[in-house]
């Protein structure tokens, strides 16, 4: 469904260019929850921006349903870590969720129905008329997720979406994502720093190396769904998988050449 082929991204710099991603290749199956983990600065955000068509690739290609991605596809929705910047503070929660649907040309009646059901789904039915600044961080991130759900994308792209919320909210949002994905069959491409989160959520985890980033290993996560924060994380297989992924990342960080001062 989504194919990244020999992708390279080089940013122009005064000293001639910095290659953040190089020789990156993988594919994502329809309905899959595919997570990318890797050390800080590895190029994960760069990769997501190129896949979602927000940035151009320097070489190689990103293909979605057989078409080369050259701008943000209408079938994608993106949720970023920084919910405060992704929501519009001067309009209500309901309007924030509705806006992309207006741009998509969806009728007023259907928009109202989708907004109400998405906010219900994330537990914010009572906050429709509030402004984002009146909500907690976790609630604002729920609004960003509701906006993505209401849009009904084929592919949901999430860049460390739960990194700025407390541990309990994070666990709740992870489970919300799993439930939505179970109900809708949406394909999810997820980036995280958190190894436990990657193993808990995914069908497959791609470990990426430091810049210029490329795939180090793709790990299958054959843990059964539905997953459960306590039961799944108590499984010996969970511990084995998390230790493996964590170990690979650790090795990469410890064998990396120190950056010049």
Binding site for ligand ATP (CB under 6 A): 11, 13, 18, 20, 38, 40-46, 193, 211
Q: State the minimum distance, in angstroms, from the CB of residue 20 to ligand ATP.
A: 3
**How far is it, in rounded angstroms, from Cα 93 to Cα 119?**
9
Q: State the minimum distance, in angstroms, from the CB of residue 17 to ligand ATP.
A: 9
Distance in angstroms between the alpha carbons of the first and the last residue of the chain: 42
CB nearer to ligand ATP: give 44 or 204.
44
CB nearer to ligand ATP: give 13 or 107.
13
CB nearer to ligand ATP: give 11 or 133.
11
Q: State the minimum distance, in angstroms, from the CB of residue 106 to ligand ATP.
A: 32
76-80 and 155-159 as β-strands: parallel, antiparallel, unpaired? parallel
Strand partners, 59: 8
Say if CB 78 and CB 52 are below 8 A apart: yes
* DSSP three-state, residue 185: coil
**How far is it, in rounded angstroms, from Cα 28 to Cα 47?**
14
CB nearer to ligand ATP: give 17 or 123.
17
CB nearer to ligand ATP: give 18 or 225.
18
Q: State the minimum distance, in angstroms, from the CB of residue 177 to ligand ATP.
A: 19
204-208 and 215-220 as β-strands: parallel, antiparallel, unpaired? antiparallel
Q: State the minimum distance, in angstroms, from the CB of residue 116 to ligand ATP.
A: 34
Residues in the chain: 261
């Amino acid at each position: 469904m989504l194919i990244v082929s020999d992708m390279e991204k080089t940013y122009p710099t005064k000293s001639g260019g910095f290659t953040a991603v190089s020789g990156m290749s993988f594919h994502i199956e329809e309905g899959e929850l595919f997570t990318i983990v890797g050390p800080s600065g590895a190029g994960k955000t760069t990769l997501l921006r190129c896949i979602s068509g927000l940035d151009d690739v320097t070489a190689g290609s990103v293909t979605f349903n057989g078409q080369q991605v050259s701008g943000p596809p209408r079938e994608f929705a993106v949720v970023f870590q920084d919910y405060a910047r992704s929501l519009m503070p001067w309009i209500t929660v309901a309007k924030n969720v509705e806006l992309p649907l207006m741009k998509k040309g969806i009728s007023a009646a259907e928009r109202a129905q989708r907004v109400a059901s998405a906010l219900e789904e994330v537990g914010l039915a009572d906050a429709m008329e509030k402004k984002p600044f009146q909500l907690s961080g976790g609630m604002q991130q729920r609004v960003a997720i509701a906006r993505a759900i209401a849009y009904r994308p084929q592919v949901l792209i999430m860049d460390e979406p739960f990194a700025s919320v407390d541990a309990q909210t994070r666990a709740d949002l992870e489970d919300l994502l799993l439930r939505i994905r179970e109900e809708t069959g949406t394909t999810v491409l997820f980036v995280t720093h958190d190894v436990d989160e990657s193993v808990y959520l995914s069908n497959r985890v791609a470990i990426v190396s430091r810049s210029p980033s490329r795939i180090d290993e793709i790990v299958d996560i054959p843990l059964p769904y539905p997953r459960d924060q306590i039961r799944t994380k108590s499984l010996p297989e969970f511990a084995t998988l998390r230790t493996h992924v964590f170990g690979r990342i650790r090795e990469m960080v410890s064998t990396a050449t120190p950056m010049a001062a």
